[in-house]
Structure 1
Amino acid sequence: MNICGINCIYNNETCKVANEVPEEYNYNNDPDCYFYSFNYDGKESMIQITNITKAYLFGIKIVNKYYLSENPYVLKPTSGQTIVVYYSPTIIKQIISKYAYGLAGGKADEYVDFNVHTDVTTSTASEVTTLTLQPASSDIYYQEETYNLNSIISNIGGFYSSLSGIFAFLFGASKLAPWGFLQTNVFNCLCTRYRRKLVRKLKNKYEPIPFVSGRAKNFTLEERVQSIENLLGEYYLNTEFLNELLEDNGEAKV
């Protein structure tokens, strides 16, 4: 902890300044603040400190390894105030520098989240400031962010969707095409026969050919519209829900 004040008292003795402080802990704009270390021995390890003006819950040390808090918890007790801080440490390993534009894992960093909630009482009969640290659990949890196949696929999908949205915003959406990149480029030789067969089928089945034949003299407007409906209903649109309208109308008539 980074504690500000004079004559910090811990267990009826003067607080002892931490012997070794990591370089990352040197965040101190107040010359009256010093780093102190206190032992964490489980759920019964209650730490009671008096005569302080401000305290920062900075991090935790486990087996000679320091874990900084991403956002140090700040306590500012006033005269005659008693603050009980309940905390449950969670060590979090988080990816901070992603590889391949976030499509794969990368450099990770570990920090501690104390999950703090406080209980404050004020006494007018005493001017002593008391800070009590009370573990809410005897366990220290560990949370790790990892990359697997599902997360990579999800990132690729999100990346592609964002590019598609930008392209559609700038240049508009492209026309619906039945042939994708694989059919037209990679498997072109395998799909040629199938494409020709489908073209012949459409030519024989749809007469006039929608959007191509134009205003043919031998066909009425009703026939042209019917041909478009048949093509859209068979290859592009799902019209099953429209059949429910006919069923509902039939039941209403009955």
Structure 2
Amino acid sequence: MIGLLSLALGGCANLGPLGGNQVGQACSENLGQSVELQLNLAREMLDNGRAHAALANLDMLPQDSLEVRESRALALRRIGDPRALVEYRNLLNTCKAAEAHHGLGQIAMRGGNTVRAEEELGEAARLRPTDSAFRNDLGYALMRSGALERARFEFITAMELDDHDKLSATNLLSLLYLQDDDRQAKSLIQSVGLSADQVRAARDQADSLRPAAHAPVQPESVSYVDEPRDTPHADSMASAPAEARDAKLLVNAR
């Protein structure tokens, strides 16, 4: 189905003490069962929007673990803490480089720096080309900058990589509304089975992008894994150099 849509629409450096994985490769760590359980609990808290609680649990875990460091960076980003920038930059020369570029791209996008966001998200997608969230978020940055055809390619790629999550389809629908392509928009809604709320969110997003394509992403704009529920440090993050706060897409998806 998505294949037909595609036609219709036109379209580590070495680690420190933890091992020798190269940049972009999967990390391999033996954390032990108890640490794994605690880490999974912290990640579940992040998924449920409890970033402060997740951060407290992560503080109890080995701080030299790359998995812990990456989850900590995510938690800091979710609460709007500018320390997330440092955490992600420290992961750039590890096997978590893709996640680091992705996080930095989100922060840049949230600060309205679409050029930097495209660079960071593009590098994340290059390092991890089969990650649907990376491709989706790159598409969103491209859409905001006006590169609609490139954005469409990324959204369709994300849809084909993960046909269970409707966010890429919703973003693609926004793009079609931006192009005033109602015929293809209706076809997409029917083919993918988007809900009335998703259609409304796509239309609202398209309307918000028409007058000010380069306006800073609003606090409620998030994506797959990034869903900040509170931003106590929003003012300080907004003044961070080149990037600020944390971002991805659209509307609260989870």
TM-score, length-normalised on structure 1? 0.20
Higher strand proportion (structure 1 or 2) = 1
Structure with the larger RCO, 1 or 2 (CA within 8 Å, 6+ apart): 2
Higher helix proportion (structure 1 or 2) = 2
